[in-house]
Amino acid sequence: MINAILMMLIVGGLMGLILGFSDKVFYVAPDTRVEDVTNMLPGYNCGGCGYAGCSGLAEALVNKEAEVTNCKPSSPEQKEKIKEYLLNH
């Protein structure tokens, strides 16, 4: 019984080390562009652009499937900020 418990502790610890190492080696930085563009949009979720809310438009903008001019409530200054952000990121 004690052998089984020790073996499970050793195997669990070894697997934990392997998972921890794999997390560091295979880390992929998240793409925050959709969230950033969503925060730049007015947040009305009106659907006037043809997408399901501002997050849908933001995702389409990041994927280059839409243009920022589709957002009717955004001010021209805000549209320029979004264009510049998308060009630089």
Assess if CATH 1.10.15.40 describes domain 33-88: yes
Tens-digit pLDDT profile for residues 19-43: 999 999 999 998 899 999 999 999 8
Tens-digit pLDDT profile for residues 66-82: 999 889 899 999 999 99
Binning the chain into helix, strand and coil, the percentages to the nearest 5 are 65, 0, 35
Q: What is the model's pLDDT at position 52?
A: 87
Domain limits, the chain: 1-29, 33-88
N-term to C-term CA, the chain:
58
